[in-house]
Amino acid sequence: MRRVVLVLMVALLTGACGGGARQELLVSAAASLTDAFTAVEAEYEAGHPDVDIVLNLGGSSALREQILSGAPVAVFASANQENIAEVVAAGLVAGPVVDFASNQLTIAVPAGNPGDIIGIGDLARDDLLIGLCAPVVPCGVYADEALAIAGVAAAPDTLEPDVRALLTKISAGELDAGIVYATDIATADGAVESVDIASEPAVAVTYSIAPIVGDENQADAADFIDFVLGPDGRRILGDLGFAAP
């Protein structure tokens, strides 16, 4: 028994030290960047074997709160500019804030469009189950903007904490429609379809990225941001439908 414990302890220690050879870099990224930043992580690590990118994905406002509470984050990629602006105001941004991608809103419906959604006006229908993002996360703020532009009073049945949670319930067919980012549609593997919002002007969705104070690997953080802004990052983002800012 004692030997087993010893072996376990040695394994734990070597495991912990083995990971120490690579420099960990904690990157907090908006939920809608899940696929894009997973691809960025793979390519960046392939070129930088000494760096281990750790992705922290979630609603931008939740990520902002973590940083404001002192989370040891190196890079913050937000789905809007306001969340980073609050981090700047708190004196926690260590370098320039750069817009690196843009996106559009669309209406997601389950494959086959069982609710016969034809436009944003249908989101006011009471006979359907409609989902939006909660108004504290960027996709909720943007959706409210789009609804205001179209003059539609939506009748939501749920306000989800981030865009991927919303998309999951639409792809499961539990919701008839919801407003998501255009880039989210492709990630659902055919389980959702897109219906154009078709009201002008379209809401501008802009992603910003910045290095965060408090992480000692400032050089690595800057290098990672350069990679996202450079040709490789641009190509990965472009392939997934994110336009240049």
Interface residue list for other proteins (CB under 8 A): 59, 61-62, 64-65, 129, 131, 134-137, 156-161, 169, 172-175
In the complex, minimum distance from the CB of residue 59 to other proteins, in angstroms, rounded to a whole number: 7
Tokens of 37: 């930043």
User: How far is it, in rounded angstroms, from Cα 29 to Cα 73?
Assistant: 10
* C-beta of 128 vs 182, nearer to other proteins: 128
* C-beta of 158 vs 206, nearer to other proteins: 158
Encoded amino acid at 22, one letter: R
* C-beta of 41 vs 176, nearer to other proteins: 176
* C-beta of 87 vs 221, nearer to other proteins: 87
Tokens of 39: 């691809």
In the complex, minimum distance from the CB of residue 115 to other proteins, in angstroms, rounded to a whole number: 11
In the complex, minimum distance from the CB of residue 60 to other proteins, in angstroms, rounded to a whole number: 9
Give which of 84, 111, 86 is closest to 188, Cα–Cα.
111
CB contact at 8 A, 238 and 100: no
In the complex, minimum distance from the CB of residue 173 to other proteins, in angstroms, rounded to a whole number: 4
User: How far is it, in rounded angstroms, from Cα 19 to Cα 108?
Assistant: 41
* C-beta of 28 vs 104, nearer to other proteins: 28
DSSP-derived 3-state class of residue 152: coil
The DSSP bridge partners found for residue 58 are: 30
In the complex, minimum distance from the CB of residue 137 to other proteins, in angstroms, rounded to a whole number: 7
User: How far is it, in rounded angstroms, from Cα 26 to Cα 79?
Assistant: 17
